[in-house]
Protein backbone atom coordinates (compact mmCIF):
# COMPACT_ATOMS: atom_id res chain seq x y z
CA UNK A 1 0.00 0.00 0.00
CA UNK A 2 1.34 3.39 -0.83
CA UNK A 3 1.65 6.29 1.60
CA UNK A 4 -1.52 8.08 0.41
CA UNK A 5 -3.60 4.91 0.95
CA UNK A 6 -2.23 4.55 4.47
CA UNK A 7 -2.96 8.21 5.30
CA UNK A 8 -6.52 7.86 3.98
CA UNK A 9 -7.02 4.67 6.02
CA UNK A 10 -5.66 6.30 9.19
CA UNK A 11 -7.80 9.42 8.59
CA UNK A 12 -10.90 7.25 8.11
CA UNK A 13 -10.17 5.36 11.34
CA UNK A 14 -9.60 8.62 13.25
CA UNK A 15 -12.77 10.20 11.84
CA UNK A 16 -14.72 7.03 12.61
CA UNK A 17 -13.40 6.96 16.19
CA UNK A 18 -14.17 10.66 16.73
CA UNK A 19 -17.66 10.25 15.27
CA UNK A 20 -18.32 7.22 17.50
CA UNK A 21 -17.04 9.08 20.56
CA UNK A 22 -19.12 12.17 19.80
CA UNK A 23 -22.25 10.09 19.13
CA UNK A 24 -21.80 8.12 22.38
CA UNK A 25 -21.21 11.33 24.31
CA UNK A 26 -24.38 12.96 22.94
CA UNK A 27 -26.46 9.82 23.55
CA UNK A 28 -25.19 9.55 27.14
CA UNK A 29 -25.94 13.22 27.75
CA UNK A 30 -29.46 12.75 26.42
CA UNK A 31 -29.94 9.65 28.60
CA UNK A 32 -28.77 11.49 31.72
CA UNK A 33 -31.05 14.43 30.91
CA UNK A 34 -34.00 12.05 30.49
CA UNK A 35 -33.22 10.32 33.81
CA UNK A 36 -33.07 13.69 35.57
CA UNK A 37 -36.34 14.86 34.03
CA UNK A 38 -38.05 11.60 34.96
CA UNK A 39 -36.73 11.83 38.51
CA UNK A 40 -37.95 15.42 38.88
CA UNK A 41 -41.33 14.56 37.37
CA UNK A 42 -41.72 11.74 39.91
CA UNK A 43 -40.87 14.12 42.74
CA UNK A 44 -43.22 16.76 41.38
CA UNK A 45 -46.06 14.24 41.13
CA UNK A 46 -45.45 13.13 44.72
CA UNK A 47 -45.27 16.75 45.88
CA UNK A 48 -48.47 17.75 44.08
CA UNK A 49 -50.34 14.74 45.44
CA UNK A 50 -49.16 15.45 49.00
CA UNK A 51 -50.19 19.09 48.66
CA UNK A 52 -53.70 18.25 47.44
CA UNK A 53 -54.03 15.66 50.21
CA UNK A 54 -53.01 18.26 52.81
CA UNK A 55 -55.45 20.80 51.35
CA UNK A 56 -58.32 18.32 51.44
CA UNK A 57 -57.47 17.35 55.02
CA UNK A 58 -57.69 21.05 55.89
CA UNK A 59 -61.08 21.36 54.24
CA UNK A 60 -62.45 18.24 55.92
CA UNK A 61 -61.15 19.44 59.29
CA UNK A 62 -62.70 22.86 58.68
CA UNK A 63 -66.05 21.30 57.75
CA UNK A 64 -66.05 19.17 60.92
CA UNK A 65 -65.29 22.23 63.06
CA UNK A 66 -67.81 24.46 61.28
CA UNK A 67 -70.61 21.90 61.54
CA UNK A 68 -69.88 21.31 65.23
CA UNK A 69 -69.54 25.01 66.02
CA UNK A 70 -72.75 25.97 64.22
CA UNK A 71 -74.79 22.93 65.24
CA UNK A 72 -75.19 21.58 61.70
CA UNK A 73 -73.98 18.16 62.80
CA UNK A 74 -73.26 16.28 65.98
CA UNK A 75 -69.61 16.90 66.86
CA UNK A 76 -67.31 13.93 66.35
CA UNK A 77 -64.98 15.39 69.02
CA UNK A 78 -65.00 18.37 71.34
CA UNK A 79 -64.60 21.72 69.55
CA UNK A 80 -61.16 22.36 71.05
CA UNK A 81 -59.93 19.05 69.61
CA UNK A 82 -61.50 19.88 66.23
CA UNK A 83 -59.74 23.26 66.32
CA UNK A 84 -56.46 21.50 67.09
CA UNK A 85 -57.06 19.11 64.16
CA UNK A 86 -57.56 22.09 61.86
CA UNK A 87 -54.40 23.77 63.18
CA UNK A 88 -52.40 20.58 62.53
CA UNK A 89 -53.91 20.27 59.04
CA UNK A 90 -53.03 23.90 58.26
CA UNK A 91 -49.42 23.27 59.31
CA UNK A 92 -49.24 20.21 57.03
CA UNK A 93 -50.72 22.24 54.15
CA UNK A 94 -48.14 24.96 54.71
CA UNK A 95 -45.26 22.46 54.65
CA UNK A 96 -46.63 20.81 51.51
CA UNK A 97 -46.97 24.24 49.87
CA UNK A 98 -43.28 24.93 50.54
CA UNK A 99 -42.36 21.80 48.57
CA UNK A 100 -44.59 22.97 45.71
CA UNK A 101 -42.72 26.30 45.78
CA UNK A 102 -39.40 24.45 45.43
CA UNK A 103 -40.31 22.16 42.54
CA UNK A 104 -43.20 23.59 40.56
CA UNK A 105 -43.47 25.69 37.44
CA UNK A 106 -44.68 29.24 38.10
CA UNK A 107 -48.21 28.45 36.80
CA UNK A 108 -48.53 25.66 39.37
CA UNK A 109 -47.23 27.94 42.13
CA UNK A 110 -49.78 30.60 41.16
CA UNK A 111 -52.57 28.00 41.24
CA UNK A 112 -51.36 26.83 44.67
CA UNK A 113 -51.51 30.42 45.95
CA UNK A 114 -55.14 30.56 44.80
CA UNK A 115 -55.84 27.29 46.60
CA UNK A 116 -54.29 28.66 49.78
CA UNK A 117 -56.34 31.86 49.56
CA UNK A 118 -59.59 29.97 48.99
CA UNK A 119 -58.98 27.38 51.70
CA UNK A 120 -57.88 30.01 54.22
CA UNK A 121 -61.32 31.63 53.80
CA UNK A 122 -62.88 28.24 54.60
CA UNK A 123 -60.59 27.82 57.63
CA UNK A 124 -61.40 31.30 58.98
CA UNK A 125 -65.13 30.73 58.62
CA UNK A 126 -64.84 27.36 60.37
CA UNK A 127 -62.99 28.95 63.29
CA UNK A 128 -65.50 31.79 63.50
CA UNK A 129 -62.89 34.41 62.57
CA UNK A 130 -65.26 35.55 59.82
CA UNK A 131 -69.01 35.25 59.86
CA UNK A 132 -71.76 34.83 57.32
CA UNK A 133 -74.76 32.75 56.32
CA UNK A 134 -74.64 29.06 55.43
CA UNK A 135 -75.03 29.86 51.73
CA UNK A 136 -71.81 31.88 51.89
CA UNK A 137 -70.07 28.96 53.65
CA UNK A 138 -71.12 26.72 50.77
CA UNK A 139 -69.82 29.27 48.25
CA UNK A 140 -66.46 29.39 50.07
CA UNK A 141 -66.21 25.61 49.80
CA UNK A 142 -67.16 25.63 46.13
CA UNK A 143 -64.48 28.25 45.47
CA UNK A 144 -61.92 26.11 47.31
CA UNK A 145 -62.73 23.10 45.16
CA UNK A 146 -62.68 25.24 42.00
CA UNK A 147 -59.18 26.39 43.00
CA UNK A 148 -58.13 22.78 43.63
CA UNK A 149 -59.36 21.84 40.16
CA UNK A 150 -57.37 24.73 38.65
CA UNK A 151 -54.33 23.46 40.55
CA UNK A 152 -54.91 19.99 39.06
CA UNK A 153 -54.97 21.54 35.56
CA UNK A 154 -51.73 23.44 36.13
CA UNK A 155 -50.00 20.42 37.68
CA UNK A 156 -51.09 18.17 34.81
CA UNK A 157 -49.69 20.67 32.30
CA UNK A 158 -46.42 20.90 34.25
CA UNK A 159 -46.09 17.10 34.28
CA UNK A 160 -46.94 16.85 30.58
CA UNK A 161 -50.12 14.82 31.13
CA UNK A 162 -52.12 14.79 27.91
CA UNK A 163 -55.78 15.70 27.78
CA UNK A 164 -57.74 18.06 29.94
CA UNK A 165 -59.21 17.74 33.36
CA UNK A 166 -62.81 18.84 32.96
CA UNK A 167 -62.75 21.09 36.01
CA UNK A 168 -65.96 22.98 35.19
CA UNK A 169 -67.82 19.72 34.67
CA UNK A 170 -66.23 18.20 37.76
CA UNK A 171 -67.17 21.15 39.99
CA UNK A 172 -70.71 21.24 38.61
CA UNK A 173 -71.40 17.76 39.97
CA UNK A 174 -72.20 19.22 43.41
CA UNK A 175 -70.12 16.65 45.25
CA UNK A 176 -69.01 19.21 47.79
CA UNK A 177 -71.66 19.63 50.45
CA UNK A 178 -74.90 17.80 51.17
CA UNK A 179 -78.06 19.71 51.92
CA UNK A 180 -78.18 20.61 55.59
CA UNK A 181 -80.93 20.02 58.07
CA UNK A 182 -80.85 23.69 59.04
CA UNK A 183 -81.79 24.89 55.54
CA UNK A 184 -84.79 22.57 55.43
CA UNK A 185 -86.09 23.69 58.86
CA UNK A 186 -88.04 26.90 59.31
CA UNK A 187 -86.01 29.73 60.81
CA UNK A 188 -86.10 30.06 64.59
CA UNK A 189 -88.05 33.02 65.97
CA UNK A 190 -86.16 35.80 67.76
CA UNK A 191 -86.01 36.22 71.52
* pLDDT on residue 165: 63
- In this prediction, residue 182 carries a pLDDT of 45
Residue 81 lies in a domain: yes
Three-class DSSP category at 105: coil
Report yes or no on 79 lying in a domain. yes
Flag whether 100 is in a domain. Answer: yes
Q: Is the dihedral of CA 172, 175, 177, 178 positive or negative?
A: positive
What pLDDT, on a 0 to 100 scale, did the predictor assign at position 34? Answer: 64
Is residue 18 situated within a structural domain? Answer: no
Residues 89/57, Cβ–Cβ less than 8 Å: yes
In a domain, 172, yes or no: no
Is residue 20 included in any domain, yes or no?
A: no
Range of the domain at 78: 43-161
29-59 pLDDT per residue, tens: 887 776 665 667 888 999 999 999 999 999 9
User: For residue 15, is it within any domain?
Assistant: no
The count of structural domains within the chain is 1
Query: For 4-25, what is each residue's pLDDT tens digit?
Result: 888 888 888 888 888 888 888 7
Tens digits of residue pLDDT in 165-187: 654 555 555 544 545 544 444 44
Amino acid sequence: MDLVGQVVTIAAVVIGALTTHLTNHLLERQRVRHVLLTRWDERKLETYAQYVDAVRTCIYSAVALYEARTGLARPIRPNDRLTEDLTDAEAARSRAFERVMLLAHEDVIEAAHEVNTATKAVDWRARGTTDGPLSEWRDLNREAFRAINAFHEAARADLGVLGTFQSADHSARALILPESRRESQPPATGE
